[in-house]
Structure 1
Amino acid sequence: MTTVKRIFYGIFVVLLTILVSQSMAKAQVQGCSQSGHPVTTGGNQFPLRVDESLFLEPASLEIKLLNIEDSRCPSDVQCIWAGQVTATISVISDGQSLGVFPLTLKAGQEDLAVANVEGHSIQLINVVPYPMSTQSKETLHYIATLAVSQI
C-alpha cells in the first residue's frame, strides 16, 4: 500500500509542477474590452474591433483600436504585391495620451507590427477577415488581434 501511495503522490507532484509551470509561462496581462467583459482568448492575445478599447491592469493602460487600413491582395485574386494591413491604436495611461501608433503587417517587415509603450510591447498578430474581391471593404467588420506583454 505504501508503494501505491508513493506512486500517486509522485504523479500528483509531477502534474502539479506541470500546471504551475504552464500557469507561469502563460502569465498574462489582465484585460477587458470596452464593455467591461474580460477578454477570454487566453494567453496575452486580445481581439479588438474598431472603436473598442482594452484596459490593462495593474498598468492602468488603455489601448484603443482607432482604425484599420487594408491593402492586402484579396485571397481569390493573384497579385504581384501581397499588400499590407495597418491597425492604428491609441494608448492612454491614467487619462494621459501616450500617442497614436500604427501597427503594420507586411511580409518581411515584422518590426512594423510592434510598438513599445510604457514597458509593454504591443504587437499586431492578425486582422480578419481577409479581403476577397467579391466583398466591399466598407462592409467588412475587422477584428485585430493584439498581443500585449511586459518588457
Structure 2
Amino acid sequence: MKTILFLLLIIITPVMWAQESQLPDAVVYSSLLQPGELLSIGNRSIKFREVVMDSRCPKEVMCVWAGEAKVLVELFENNILIGERILTVNTGNIPLDFSAGGVSYNLNRILLSPYPSTKVEEPNYELEISITERIL
C-alpha cells in the first residue's frame, strides 16, 4: 500500500507542476470611428485622422489586384500626441503592436467602410477598429 501511494505521489507531483500559467488579463476595445473620432483605452487613445489613400477594387469590377486603403491614425497618451501611424487596410499585415508602461497593445481588426463602388461619390468613411490590451 505504501508503495502504491509513493508511486502515485511521484506521478502526480510532476503533472501538477506542468500546468501552464494563466495568460495575463486582456481587455478588448472596439469602436466604429469617423474621421476625427477617438477610441479611448485608459489614459491612451487612438484617433482616426483621415483616409490617406483608397485604391481598393470597386465591388462591380473584376480586378487582378484587390487593392488597399491607407488610413492615418494618431496615438495619444494623457491627451498628448505621442505618434502617428499609417495603417494599411485589406492586407494580412496589421502593423500596430506595441508595449508601453507594462502593457501590450495588439490591433486585432481594422476595417474601412464603405467599400468602393463604380459610382463616383465622396464616401463618408468609417473605421472599425479592435485593440486588445494586456497587462504584462
| Cα deviation, residue 122, structure 1 | 2.7
CA distance in 2, matches of 1:95, 1:142: 24
Which structure 1 segments of 5+ residues have no match?
A: 1-26, 30-43
For residue 106 of structure 1, the aligned residue among 73, 81, 90 is: 90
Aligned to 2:125: 142
Which whole-Å CA distance do the structure 1 matches of 2:110 and 2:40 have between them? 18
The correspondence for 2:71, drawn from 83, 87, 96, is: 87
Q: Larger % of helix: which?
A: 1
Check 1:124–1:71 CA distance in 2 against 1; reply closer, same or farther (3 A cut).
farther
Q: Aligned residue for 1:50?
A: 35
State the structure with more CA Rg.
2
Aligned residues: 105
Aligned-residue identity in percent: 24
How many angstroms apart in 2 are the aligned matches of 1:73 and 1:88? 20
Aligned equivalent of 1:63: 46
Query: What root-mean-square deviation, in Å, do the aligned CA atoms of Structure 1 and Structure 2 show?
Result: 2.1
TM-score by length of 1: 0.61
Indicate the structure whose relative CO is greater, using CA pairs within 8 Å and at least 6 residues apart: 2
- Give unmatched runs, 5+ long, in structure 2: 1-25
For each residue in 1:59-81, what CA deviation from the matched residue of structure 2 results, as whole angstroms up to 9, or x when unmatched?
x0121001112110100111222
Deviation at 1:144, TM superposition (A): 0.7
Residues 50-105 of structure 1: CA deviation (Å, up to 9, x unaligned): 11112222xx0121001112110100111222100122110010133221111112
